[in-house]
Structure 1
Amino acid sequence: MQVLVTGGAGFIGGHLAEQFAADGHDVVVLDNFEPYYDLGIKEHNVEAARDAAKANGATYKLIDGSITDDDQVDTLVSEADVIYHQAAQAGVRKSVEQPAKVNAYNVDGTVTLLEAARRHDVERVVLASSSSVYGKPEYLPYDEAHPTTPVSPYGVSKLAAEQYARVYSEVYGLPTVGLRYFTVYGPRMRPNMAMTNFVSRCLHGESPVIYGDGTQTRDFTYVADIKRVNAQLLNDDSADGEILNIGSTDTIDIQTLAEVVRDEIDPSLDIEYTDPREGDAEHTHADISKANALLGYEPTVDIREGVSAFIDWYRENKAWYDPLVRGS
């Protein structure tokens, strides 16, 4: 089977490309290498997927291009069996600064892809959405029926993208699945996330810095659980036309997360606080009962296990991953 992964040099896309290649599928990655963070991390994502393909008799092809390029997207989609649409301009704060750019990638780019998928009758499009679509909670945990009132242009763009995918399923019969991810973390994650900042600072003997008072809560999801549910959707049509929360079973406040990281690395460090960041949601917590009912989805890694595993991985890969080491 040939799998097209848009944004396949990024964090989640890179892990998906690696997983599909390891399973023996031919993988094509489309990524424009937007320098939102150090591109060396993307290069390691590419290397990991390419190595998996070589080891398992699969092919891996990398295309440096944009999801907004109609002709290029059409050509790649025409050769694909299943599409995993991970490409997006990420970052809540970036979206506050550049809303038009975020819309161009996340909304216009998604429509470009869906149109090509409809023309070429692909088997399925699995689209990465986000818990950012919910905005301020009216109740927790969020179920898929919760009102969607995003508080950032990024959240608005992901909501529009997932709704376009749903409509293409209903109106045109294109099999689509929208997955609302809840704060995915793990090896090779973006270095500008709270967890990576905490780990990096602590490993360098510096206090972790919390934006706000630390009472914000997050539902952190380990990337291995994300890979598993996406791999299942390669051949499983049980969720076609649906939008599903993909999260974990427990939440943690940012204060406690900082303490967990600090205590494992250097308990002597204090915790520092600074102003909250504009556009960040106060709380996220996923109700995953729908994903469980349709796909049997169950997260397997709790936050403390995941943090410990990530710290171990970070130490082993510090030379190329740590921003302070790379900048020295």
Structure 2
Amino acid sequence: MRMFITGVAGFVGSTLAKRLLAEGHEVVGIDCLSDYYEIEIKRANLESLESPGFTFIEEDLNVADLDHLLEGIDVVFHQAGQPGVRKSWGSDFSIYLSANIEATQKLLEAARKNGGLKRFVYASSSSVYGNAERYPTLEMDRPRPMSPYGVTKLAAEHLCSLYAENFGIPTVSLRYFTVYGPRQRTDMAFTRFVRAAVRGEQITIFGTGEQIRDFTFVDDIVEANVKAALVDSPKGSVFNVAGGSNISVNNVLALLGTISEKPLDVKYIDGVAGDVFRTGGSTDSIEEVLGWKASVPLEEGLRRQYEWARVAFAAPVL
């Protein structure tokens, strides 16, 4: 099959591309290589994908000829977007509007013109829930984002549902719960933690560390994408993709200290606007419809990320 991946140079996009190429699919990937985090990391991700079956386009979704690029494509995996809760406030919000909402609308319009498209898989986020009404949170529970980032992810998700209902686009939205693993973005918590553990540096925690998160290993996220693409589900479906860890940040640090066999230097500072206290998603729906269930326990996944970090961060600079 011919697969189209947006944000292919990113953490999830490149991991997904590697899986699809290994299974013999043809992959067309697009990425604008934005400088939200180190471009060198994205280029290294792309180098790992070098294959006769891989085609890379360096371009912004908002200006690319998407009608042409989607010709003959069987499945679209829309992983691209501007990440980050903390940076989405203030003047940077316009970047989130363009990258998360406008780009999604343009991609959906191009999908309308592709009569043979089998699935459009959108990478949504647990940020759409904000401080949820209950835990584990169900897909039908009322979303109430706590950050501009979450607002844009929810808006793009609604666009997917609208295009499914009005034009029959076979969309599936996957609400990711805190993805981690080797090659995770350098601004994300687990990468900051394991890098500091390897180098003996201080770890900065926003808030008390008692905030609870549902962490999901990247290979499980990739598996959910593959199943969303290949297993039948109603058009416009929305699924939680959660690892089921439900653990506090402080307990994660304790676990990392055990794995690294080193004392960790932790500093606590004020929390950040938009950060929720708890996340935790029910996966009953995705288990029933797609047959997906997380398979990598947190301790195993964190150990894998730490072992990766021992190599990636051994030198003074990445």
1:79 aligns with 2:72: yes
Equivalent residue number for residue 94 of structure 2? 100
Q: Return the alpha-carbon distance in structure 2 between the equivalents of residues 32 and 40 of structure 1.
A: 13
1:193 aligns with 2:185: no
Aligned AA (1:21): L
Percentage identity across aligned positions? Answer: 39
* Contact 1:214 1:253 (C-alpha < 8 Å) held by counterparts: yes
Equivalent residue number for residue 181 of structure 1? 176
Aligned AA (1:325): V
* Contact 2:197 2:262 (C-alpha < 8 Å) held by counterparts: no
* Contact 2:77 2:122 (C-alpha < 8 Å) held by counterparts: yes
1:44 to partner: Cα distance: 2.0
Output one character per residue of 1:244-301: Cα deviation in whole Å (capped at 9) or x when no partner: 0001122110111122112322443342211112211211101000001101111001
1:117 to partner: Cα distance: 0.2
Equivalent residue number for residue 305 of structure 1? 300
Q: Return the alpha-carbon distance in structure 2 between the equivalents of residues 15 and 267 of structure 1.
A: 29
1:128 aligns with 2:130: no
Superposed counterparts of 1:12-161, under 5 Å: 12-50=12-50, 53-54=51-52, 59-69=53-63, 71-97=64-90, 98-121=92-115, 122-161=117-156
1:163 to partner: Cα distance: 0.9
1:207 to partner: Cα distance: 3.2
Q: Which moved more, 1:165-174 or 1:229-238?
A: 229-238
* Contact 2:227 2:292 (C-alpha < 8 Å) held by counterparts: no
1:314 to partner: Cα distance: 1.4
Query: SS at the partner of 2:140?
Result: coil
Equivalent residue number for residue 267 of structure 2? 272
Output one character per residue of 1:154-196: Cα deviation in whole Å (capped at 9) or x when no partner: 1000101111101111111110000000000111110111111
1:240 to partner: Cα distance: 3.3
Q: Return the alpha-carbon distance in structure 2 between the equivalents of residues 195 and 116 of structure 1.
A: 36
TM-score (norm 1): 0.93
**Residues 269 and 232 of structure 1, relative CA distance in 2, 3 Å threshold:** closer
Output one character per residue of 1:1-29: Cα deviation in whole Å (capped at 9) or x when no partner: 11110001101011111111111111111
Equivalent residue number for residue 325 of structure 1? 317
**Root-mean-square deviation (Å):** 1.5
Q: Return the alpha-carbon distance in structure 2 between the equivalents of residues 269 and 169 of structure 1.
A: 48
Equivalent residue number for residue 226 of structure 1? 221
1:243 aligns with 2:238: yes
Uncovered stretches (5+) of structure 2, i.e. residues with no partner: none
1:239 to partner: Cα distance: 4.7
Q: Return the alpha-carbon distance in structure 2 between the equivalents of residues 250 and 265 of structure 1.
A: 20
Output one character per residue of 1:188-225: Cα deviation in whole Å (capped at 9) or x when no partner: 11011111111111211123221100111110000111
Aligned AA (2:67): D
Query: SS at the partner of 1:126?
Result: strand
TM-score (norm 2): 0.95
* Contact 2:198 2:313 (C-alpha < 8 Å) held by counterparts: no
Query: SS at the partner of 1:49?
Result: coil
* Contact 2:2 2:25 (C-alpha < 8 Å) held by counterparts: yes
Q: Which moved more, 1:163-172 or 1:74-83?
A: 74-83
Query: SS at the partner of 2:76?
Result: strand
Q: Return the alpha-carbon distance in structure 1 between the equivalents of residues 276 and 66 of structure 2.
A: 33
Output one character per residue of 1:23-51: Cα deviation in whole Å (capped at 9) or x when no partner: 1111111100001111121112112222x
**Residues 9 and 269 of structure 1, relative CA distance in 2, 3 Å threshold:** closer
Q: Return the alpha-carbon distance in structure 2 between the equivalents of residues 110 and 126 of structure 1.
A: 11
* Contact 2:168 2:235 (C-alpha < 8 Å) held by counterparts: no
Q: Return the alpha-carbon distance in structure 2 between the equivalents of residues 270 and 90 of structure 1.
A: 27
Aligned residues: 316
1 or 2, which has the higher helix percentage? 1
Q: Which moved more, 1:196-205 or 1:284-293?
A: 196-205
**Residues 94 and 317 of structure 1, relative CA distance in 2, 3 Å threshold:** same
1:294 aligns with 2:289: yes
Query: SS at the partner of 1:232?
Result: helix
Q: Return the alpha-carbon distance in structure 1 between the equivalents of residues 11 and 276 of structure 2.
A: 21
